[in-house]
Amino acid sequence: MKNRFGPKGWTPDRLGSLSGKTYVITGANGGAGFEATRVLLSKGARVVMANRSAKRSDAAIEALRQEFGSDANVSYVLMDLAELASVRQAAAKLLETVPRIDALICNAAIAQIATQQLTVDGFESQLGVNHFGHFLLCGLLFDRIEESDGRIVVVGSNGYKMGDKRILFEDLNYGKNYSAWNAYAQSKLAQMVFAYELQRRVRVAGKNTQVHVCHPGASRTGLIRDTAGRTTRVLATLLSPMAQSAERGSWPEVMCATEAGLQPEKYYGPTRFEMVGPVGECPLEAFVLDPEQAARLWSVSEEKTALSWSP
């Protein structure tokens, strides 16, 4: 696939001034979200992080102020995607304090949770945090994003094509045959199915919000934690030298939040083995775009989050 950005792919060198723009990023106190914040701040944007830990958010802001000066326009709202009530509170706070949202970057995630855990709302934890939490947040902020002529960026994962390759509507929580890998894969697939369905619904409604989907390839971040099984942790350590930096892992999401002329039904990320290297368009498997599965997931998501949402 030819890279429209040339042999080096998309890089932050393409960014002009982002002064006057506001970006909301979930899970921005570490990993790719933190690095995306750095790139955006370096171009003069305002960034509002939506994080679950005040302590880790304060530490992130301290580090960013050291790098960019005490007037760096960065703040945070507390939000735990594992609790719908917390997402509602954070969305209310954002609507009160953030008058425009040029892009909401749905970056936060948990992965490879070794044993089945349920969120307080009763969802398998990866599906709850990665998909249902973000679905609710996107729905609650949508009108503000639309008024801002803004974007929603969903950070997916190549994991979407490595699990069951479908949404297990009959057992969403993997109560029967739980595996960390399949449950994570389903959660990332759900995020992507939702994103492309949102693209379609926005278009049909004649609205302007852009929705783009990307992935960071294999990046050295904090994603694999002690909640993962031992084999996964060992593998992650062994493979780490082959992965790219968290900074490079952030470029696809920054690109999707800022670059002009991106097309729908595309999937952006590092293009070398879809793991590292120049950022550009990556292949997208057709099953992600299945309209029946997407419509069903949308209804289930509305029901589970108690949000009735027509863009």
Ligand X SMILES: NC(=O)c1ccc[n+]([C@@H]2O[C@H](COP(=O)([O-])OP(=O)(O)OC[C@H]3O[C@@H](n4cnc5c(N)ncnc54)[C@H](OP(=O)(O)O)[C@@H]3O)[C@@H](O)[C@H]2O)c1
Minimum distance between the CB of residue 31 and ligand X, rounded to whole angstroms? Answer: 2
Choosing from 23, 76, 160, 184, the catalytic residue is: 184
Q: Does 157 bind ligand X (CB under 6 A)?
A: yes
Q: Closest residue (Cβ) to ligand X?
A: 31
Positions 128 through 147 that interact with ligand X (CB under 6 A): 129
Name which of 249 and 311 has its Cβ closer to ligand X: 249
Candidates 74-82, 161-169, 204-212, 255-263; binding stretch for ligand X (CB under 6 A): 74-82
- Specify burial of residue 66 (Cβ count, 10 A radius: 0-12, 13-18, 19+): exposed
Positions 245 through 284 that interact with ligand X (CB under 6 A): 249
Q: Does 22 bind ligand X (CB under 6 A)?
A: no
Show the DSSP H helices in 205-270 as ranges.
230-239, 246-258
Q: Which of 200, 215, 248, 304 binds ligand X (CB under 6 A)?
A: 215
Euclidean distance between CA atoms 269 and 303, whole angstroms = 32
Minimum distance between the CB of residue 306 and ligand X, rounded to whole angstroms? Answer: 19
Per rule CB under 6 A, count of chain residues that contact ligand X:
31
Name which of 19 and 240 has its Cβ closer to ligand X: 240
Euclidean distance between CA atoms 24 and 179, whole angstroms = 32
Minimum distance between the CB of residue 178 and ligand X, rounded to whole angstroms? Answer: 19
Cβ atoms of residues 205 and 146 within 8 Å: no
Closest of 279, 277, 278, 272 to residue 256, by C-alpha: 279
Minimum distance between the CB of residue 106 and ligand X, rounded to whole angstroms? Answer: 7
Contacts of 227 (CB under 8 A, 6+ apart): 110, 112, 113, 114
76 belongs to the catalytic site = no
Q: What is the 3-state secondary structure (H, E, C) of 57-101?
A: HHHHHHHHHHHHCCCCCEEEEECCCCCHHHHHHHHHHHHHHCCCC
Give the total residue count for the chain: 311
Q: Does 98 bind ligand X (CB under 6 A)?
A: no
Candidates 48-56, 91-99, 167-175, 283-291; binding stretch for ligand X (CB under 6 A): 48-56
What is the sign, positive or negative, of the torsion defined by CA atoms of 182, 186, 188, 193? Answer: positive
Residues labelled as active-site residues: 184
Contacts with ligand X by CB under 6 A lie at 26-27, 29-33, 51-53, 56, 79-82, 107-111, 129, 155, 157, 215-216, 218-219, 221-223, 249
